[in-house]
Amino acid sequence: MKKHFRKSIFSAGLLLLFSGISVSLSSQEISLAYKYSGDKPVSYLYTSAMAQIMDMQGQTMQNDVNSAFGCIVKSAGMQGNNLMLEITADTLGQTTNSPMGGGGVSVADIKGKSFKIVISPEGKVIDLSEAIAIKFVQGDGGESDLGQSLNDFFPRMPEKPVKPGDSWNTTDSSTLKTATMTQTTINNSINKLVGVEIIDGVECARILREGTGTLFMNLQTQGMDILIRGPFTRTEECLVAVKEGQLVSQTSTMKITGDLDIASMGMTMPITMQIKDATKIK
């Protein structure tokens, strides 16, 4: 009886202890900001799966594009109040599949290339010029750059301290330009700190984001000017290491429903693009 009684007391004590930790984590106000370390680089792999579905005079055509980008991130110091990051690219590839055939390309030339970007502590992109300067040829023969891979890499953090259950709004716009493409995105998001969890011994903030916006994209391909425009919705979840100020993981689902215009052919057709992506520490 005494042994069982001691076990009961011990179990009750553990319950009170973990209950206390839970209460502490769920009520504590925290500041979330990117920091990173110059001594402990973090290696990431970003993957994306995009389905483009077009309605051509009653016939549905689907193109699938799968992409991957891997990099190593570490701090390169501060630029005023903003964070300078040194990025070393190690993986870049893409595969396509369509009714016209499929293909793939791996860009080995970018492996080992290092460059710097500047972001605010909240994750807003300040300077991508060095990333944009690194060009490569895509599978369709068009030219692109590494700025596209990093423009939306770091999820935005709140500008003020928050506690679990708090929400904040973000409004942002960005423009990406390459030799064959100009893309402008206007985004409005409602963000919520769901909670703070201990994952593999690291205190992590879990953030959910529900976003809406508009996409405008101009493409030049095969001698044609193509315009894609339309509204989109996006749902995102990310984990951020609170003390370390590092992205741990991010997953998102985005759906664009709009029109595709080919002015030279006088054609306009509905297009739907569904994109699922994820960023994880390797």
Q: Tell whether 16 is covered by a domain.
A: no
pLDDT value for 27: 63
Residue 187 lies in a domain: yes
Contact 119, 85 (CB under 8 A): yes
What string of pLDDT tens digits covers the 282 residues of the chain? 444 434 444 444 444 344 444 434 456 899 999 999 999 999 999 999 999 999 877 789 999 999 999 999 999 999 999 999 999 999 999 898 887 777 777 888 899 999 999 999 999 999 999 999 998 887 666 678 899 899 889 999 999 999 999 999 999 888 888 778 899 999 999 999 999 999 999 999 999 999 999 999 998 877 789 999 999 999 999 999 999 999 999 999 999 999 999 888 888 999 999 999 999 999
Local structure of residue 1 (DSSP, 8 states): -
pLDDT at position 1 is 44
Cα angle 90, 94, 95; round to 5: 145
What pLDDT, on the 0 to 100 scale, is given for residue 15?
44
Residue 230 in domain: yes
Q: What is the pLDDT of residue 68?
A: 95
Judge whether 93 lies within some domain: yes
Distance of CA 127 to the CA centre of its chain: 17
Q: For residues 114 and 110, what is the distance between their CA atoms, to the nearest angstrom?
A: 9
Q: List the domain range (segments joined by +) for residue 229.
A: 27-281
The answer to whether residue 127 is domain-embedded is: yes
**SS3 assignment for 175-225:** EEECCCEEEEEEEEEEEEEEEEEEECCEEEEEEEEEEEEEEEEEEEECCEE
Residue 1 lies in a domain: no
For the CA atoms of 259, 264, 267, 268, what is the dihedral angle to 10 degrees?
10
- Per-position b or e across 176-185, b if 16+ CB within 10 A of its CB: bebeebebeb
Residue 5 half-sphere exposure, CB side, CA atoms within 13 Å? 2
271's enclosing H/E stretch is strand 267-281
Residue 17 forms part of a structural domain: no
**Strand partners of residue 103:** 96
The H or E element that residue 150 is part of is helix 147-150
What region does 222 belong to: left with phi over 0, alpha with psi -120 to 50, or beta? left
Q: Is residue 188 part of a domain?
A: yes
Domain total for the chain? 1
